């Protein structure tokens, strides 16, 4: 029997969730369908929505209702939901409403300019807008820092991966740096005896890539009547659990770019679709942060899709679909293409061995931006220095340098570490799943992903935010986050 106060809170947070759902669809439309001339109107729409949502979360009655609901006879899911409601209320109450709307306007304006500037390779026009975003992000971080008793950058990390702290990341990234450089060099040395795969040999017309992408989404278990696949500048997953929107970008000279983007975003979408239906619209029914979210996308993209069983399935499927078409002449290179280790400029196209180095660079740079040790005008130079340090290459222009990712230009500071935390967690989750189900490889080779999806639904998706990230890992794998399975996976795939 739930209390009246708790029931009132559930209704209130359901209204908030409905507004956030509308905001998610508006963001998707901005990146896919909205004409350029609609940008200013969209800025005001999103700023207004954020203001309304903020006012609802910070309603003075919320704190009183939370106090009344505490200690009442409610079940474990409701208890956790109440805890998350209080956390959201405390976090929102720490940031003034005027700052919320100013931050939203700055981020949406900067994102629109980023699309223009990136197309024209002109970072200079972005500098004033990014400077404003960074300034307002610092203000938000300081407000959250004071309210939550966290360092400012830790407060931003906590928004994306609850409980994540600089201390944990420094330890994790140090462990990775202890073995990744030598592993990368050894993997590249082993490749010297092979002919480097040429993307152009697998030149794949976009209309056929789109057909394969849609097929793979469905094969993995993403229902057609609850999802969309579109094209955007930067691949992403958005929408809501009953209406998931994923995007990718296609390149006829590099089929891996579009298809791996779809596989990655399908992992995100499957997680959203599997969240507990009974708790839709409640904090406990939402995904648990972006590190867990990225673990689900990277499990599909890296652990599954670059595996030999999956590549065998995909090759067979392409041949059955397109027969002797000229563009299939490079299909035999798929395995080599998708598992070739080589430092590159672009994060989203990176192999899984060098990928963490891209994240460590961004982690260091965004900490400097937030701490005030790096000015946005100096970002291109700092980027080039960092790329030389971690990957041994330097971009020729800013389009392939500091403008390649959308995150900072939409105010998403503290997000990047979630990718590598997610990659490490993905290896741990997949090791546990395959350990419990030895037939997994055989099923994947046949294109049957139902066994894997059932395991993910049971151990991760259906849990929503009931558990912390480390509790979720402990329940599913028996251990908290550690690099053992990630290192073992890389050595087995690339060195054995």
At residue 326's C-alpha, the angle toward residues 324 and 328, to 5°, is: 70
pLDDT of residue 331: 59
387-403 burial, b at 16+ Cβ within 10 Å, e below that, comes to beebbeeebeebbebbb
pLDDT of residue 328: 65
User: Pick from 442, 350, 335: which is nearest to 405 by CA?
Assistant: 350
Q: Three-state SS for 219?
A: helix
d(CA 318, CA 46): 42
CATH class of the domain whose range is 167-494: mainly alpha
Domain boundaries, the chain: 4-161, 167-494
pLDDT of residue 330: 56
pLDDT of residue 200: 56
pLDDT of residue 193: 81
pLDDT of residue 235: 87
CA distances from 278 to 281, 285, 456, 458 (A): 9, 8, 18, 15
Residue positions annotated with a catalytic role: 265
Which two tokens mark 417?
């570490």
273-278, Cβ contacts within 8 angstroms, sequence gap of 24 or more: 273/222, 273/223, 273/226, 273/227, 273/241, 273/244, 273/461, 274/453, 274/456, 274/457, 274/460, 274/461, 274/462, 275/241, 275/461, 275/462, 275/464, 276/462, 276/463, 276/464
Point out the residues of the chain with pLDDT beneath 70: 1-2, 198-202, 325-333
Burial class (CB in 10 A: 0-12, 13-18, 19+), 162: middle
């Amino acid at each position: 029997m739930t209390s009246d106060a708790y029931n009132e809170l559930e209704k209130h947070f359901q209204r908030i969730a409905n507004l956030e759902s509308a905001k998610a669809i508006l963001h998707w439309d901005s990146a896919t369908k909205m004409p350029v001339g609609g940008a200013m109107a969209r800025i005001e729409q999103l700023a207004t929505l954020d203001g309304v949502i903020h006012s609802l979360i910070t309603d003075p009655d919320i704190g009183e209702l939370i106090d009344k609901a505490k200690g009442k006879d409610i079940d474990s899911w409701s208890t956790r939901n109440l805890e998350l409601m209080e956390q959201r209320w405390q976090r929102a109450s720490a940031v003034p409403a005027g700052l919320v709307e100013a931050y939203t306007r700055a981020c949406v304006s900067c994102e629109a300019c980023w699309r223009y500037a990136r197309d024209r390779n002109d970072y200079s026009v972005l500098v004033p807008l990014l400077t404003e975003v960074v300034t307002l992000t610092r203000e938000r971080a300081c407000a959250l820092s004071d309210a939550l008793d966290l360092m400012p950058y830790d407060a931003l990390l906590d928004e994306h991966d609850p409980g994540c702290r600089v201390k944990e990341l420094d330890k994790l990234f140090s462990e990775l740096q202890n073995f990744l450089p030598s592993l990368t060099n050894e993997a590249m040395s082993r490749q010297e005896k092979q002919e480097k795969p040429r993307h152009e040999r697998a030149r794949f017309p976009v209309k056929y890539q789109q057909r394969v992408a849609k097929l793979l989404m469905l094969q993995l278990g993403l229902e057609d009547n609850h999802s969309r696949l579109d094209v955007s500048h930067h691949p992403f997953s958005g929408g809501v659990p009953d209406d998931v929107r994923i995007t990718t970008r296609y390149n006829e000279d590099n089929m891996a770019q579009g298809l791996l983007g779809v596989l990655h975003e399908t992992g995100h979408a499957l997680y959203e679709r599997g969240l507990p239906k009974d708790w839709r619209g409640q904090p406990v029914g939402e995904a648990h942060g972006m590190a867990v979210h990225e673990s689900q996308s990277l499990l599909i993209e890296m652990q599954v899709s670059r595996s030999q069983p999956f590549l065998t399935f995909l090759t067979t499927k392409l041949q059955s679909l397109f027969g002797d078409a000229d563009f299939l002449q490079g299909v035999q290179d798929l395995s080599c293409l998708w598992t070739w280790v080589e430092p590159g400029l672009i994060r989203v196209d990176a192999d899984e061995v060098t990928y963490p180095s891209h994240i460590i660079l961004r982690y260091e740079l965004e900490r400097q931006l937030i701490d005030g040790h790096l000015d946005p005008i100096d970002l291109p130079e700092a980027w080039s220095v960092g790329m030389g340090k971690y990957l041994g290459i330097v971009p020729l222009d800013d389009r392939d340098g500091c403008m390649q990712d959308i995150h900072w230009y939409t105010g998403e500071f503290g997000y990047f570490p979630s990718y590598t935390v997610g990659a490490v967690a993905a290896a741990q989750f997949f090791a546990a799943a395959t350990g419990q189900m030895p037939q997994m490889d055989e099923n994947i080779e046949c294109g049957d992903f139902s066994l894997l999806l059932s395991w993910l639904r049971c151990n991760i998706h259906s849990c929503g935010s009931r558990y912390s990230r480390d509790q979720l890992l402990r329940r599913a794998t028996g251990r908290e986050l550690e690099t053992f399975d990630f290192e073992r996976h890389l050595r087995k795939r690339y060195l054995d």
